[in-house]
Amino acid sequence: MNENAKNNEIETRKIKQWSKLKGENSWTMFKVISEFVNSFEIMNNTDPCISIFGSARTKPENKYYQLAVDVARRMTKEGYGVITGGGPGIMEAGNKGASMDGGLSVGLNIDLPFEQSHNPYINPEHNLNFRYFFVRKVMFVKYAQAFVVLPGGFGTLDELFEVLTLIQTKKITEVPVILVGTDFWTGMKDWITNVMLEQEGNISAKDLDLIPITDDPEEIMTIINDFYSADESSIAPNYEM
C-alpha cells in the first residue's frame, strides 16, 4: 500500500468518541474508599460467617426458601454468623434462619432501581448499604468461611463463579463452596463435566471437587465442620488487602 492510500485509509476511518464523559469521575474514588472503610470497620468486628447466595425472587412458599431458613439456622447453632445480600427471597430466608435463635445476621444491601430493599431479619448494626457491586463482593468473600449457594439467577451465578475463580487461582483461601438444590444444580454440573472438562479441557478434574451438591442441611454442616476440624486456626479472613 502506497503512502497516499495509507493517508486515504486514515482519513476515511471512523473515529469513536465518548458521547458523554463526566469530569467528576475521578472523584468517585473517594466514594469507593469511604465505602470500603465503613464496611471494614463493621465487618472486622463480626464473628466468623458463612455467605449464603440465592435469588431475590424466591417466594416464601417455594421449597428453597424454607431450605435456606433451615440451613441458616443450622449454621448459627454451629457458631457461625450468616451473610446474605440483605434483600428478599433466599437472602431474606437466610437472615430469617440466622435470627431465629439469636444468631449473627448480616445483610450487604446494594442500591438497585428495582427488587432490592433490606429484609427485616438483619441485625441493625450489621445492615450495610453499598453503591458499588465490587465493594460488596469483597465483603461477601473476605469474611466468609464457606459459601452456600441456593438457586438463583445471573447475580447468583456471578457470585458463585467469581468465588470459584478466586479459589482456583489461589487469590483467596480454599474454603467450602456448597451448591444446595440437587434439581437445580445437577444439570449445570453435568455441563461443566461434559463440556468444560471432557470436551474442551478448560478446567481440571479436581476443580469439580470444589462444588458438591446436596439438599441436606446436616450434610452442609458436615462438609464445613470436616473442612475445619483438622485446624481451627484456619478460621480467618480469606485474604489480606
Q: Which residue has the higher pLDDT, 239 or 38?
A: 38
Using an 8 Å Cβ cutoff, are 203 and 209 in contact? no
pLDDT tens-digit map of 139-190: 999 999 999 999 999 999 999 999 999 999 999 989 999 999 999 999 999 9
What is the Cα–Cα distance from 182 to 192, expressed in whole angstroms?
15
Q: Which CATH architecture has domain 28-226?
A: 3-Layer(aba) Sandwich (3.40)
Helix axes 133-142, 154-168, angle to 10 degrees: 60
Using an 8 Å Cβ cutoff, are 83 and 143 in contact? yes
Return the domain boundaries, the chain. Answer: 28-226
pLDDT tens-digit map of 227-238: 998 666 667 777
What are phi and psi for residue 22, nearest 5 degrees? -75, 135
Cell digits of residue 83 = 451473610
Cell digits of residue 39 = 464496611
Listed range (11-15, 65-69, 87-91) with the worst mean pLDDT? 11-15
Listed range (22-31, 54-63, 95-104, 124-133) with the worst mean pLDDT? 22-31
Average confidence score pLDDT of the chain: 90
pLDDT band for position 240 (50/70/90)? low
